[in-house]
Amino acid sequence: MFNLILFGPPGSGKGTQSERLVEKYGLIHLSTGGLLREEISNKTPLGIEAKKFMDHGQLVPDEVVIGMVDSYFDQHKGAAGFLFDGFPRTVAQAKALDRLMTLKKTDIALVLALEVSEGELVKRLLNRGKTSGRSDDNNEEVIRKRFAVYMNETSPVADYYKRVKKFKAIQGEGSVGEIYTALRQTIDKAMASHHN
């Protein structure tokens, strides 16, 4: 299995690039944001609970997200690998993912981190908010809150993976195609030396 994490602040292009990468490499796309939005639109108890956090720019509690990831993983037996998009977002989630990888006798091959300035991120998210119908995108105050949460709770996850030398920063500003090419080059190199 070849498992990848796409990491970066809100609006850095994780969802955009994931769509292309899963197709290119035949990976299963595991987007926790996407799974949560699906629960919300199906009005499940999990979705109703998650919406309260997401509408305020806060993270959904770890145990909810981890449970969701575990069951999604189990629904895709025989997968060539997973692309984790927007997960892990806390150190507790990263540790839970390590436990899952060990249990399944596999590992995280690479963490790709998209780097984008805050000014550009706000612009992208407000722009998406005009058309996406996402209530967390059309209010600048909520967007700023998401950045603060990212700084406090998510950025320590980068240090977690830097320690095990799996972390690669990628310039996330430029055209979607340019960024995709940079991601692919890094993935191809990692795949060539990955044995699992």
Q: How far lies 118's CA from each of 15, 111, 133, 156, 192, in Å? A: 18, 21, 22, 18, 34
Among left, alpha and beta (phi > 0; psi -120 to 50; other), residue 19 is alpha
Instruction: Indicate if 77 belongs to the active site.
Output: no
How far apart CA 179 and CA 30 sit, in angstroms, is 20
- Residue 16 within binding range of ligand B4P, rule CB under 6 A: yes
- Residue 162 within binding range of ligand B4P, rule CB under 6 A: no
The one-letter amino acid code at 58 reads: Q
Instruction: Indicate if 20 belongs to the active site.
Output: no
Do 33 and 15 touch, CB atoms closer than 8 A? Answer: yes
Contact region with ligand B4P (CB under 6 A), list: 13-21, 40-48, 159-167, 182-190: 13-21
Out of 20, 128, 162, 184, pick the active-site residue.
128
- Residue 13 within binding range of ligand B4P, rule CB under 6 A: yes
- Residue 111 within binding range of ligand B4P, rule CB under 6 A: no
Instruction: Indicate if 128 belongs to the active site.
Output: yes
Minimum distance of ligand B4P from residue 39's CB (angstroms) = 11
How far apart CA 187 and CA 185 sit, in angstroms, is 6
* Residues at the site binding ligand B4P, with contacts judged by CB under 6 A: 8, 10-16, 32-33, 36, 53-54, 59-60, 65, 86-87, 89, 93, 124, 128, 136, 146, 176, 179
* Residues acting as catalytic residues: 14, 89, 128, 134, 146
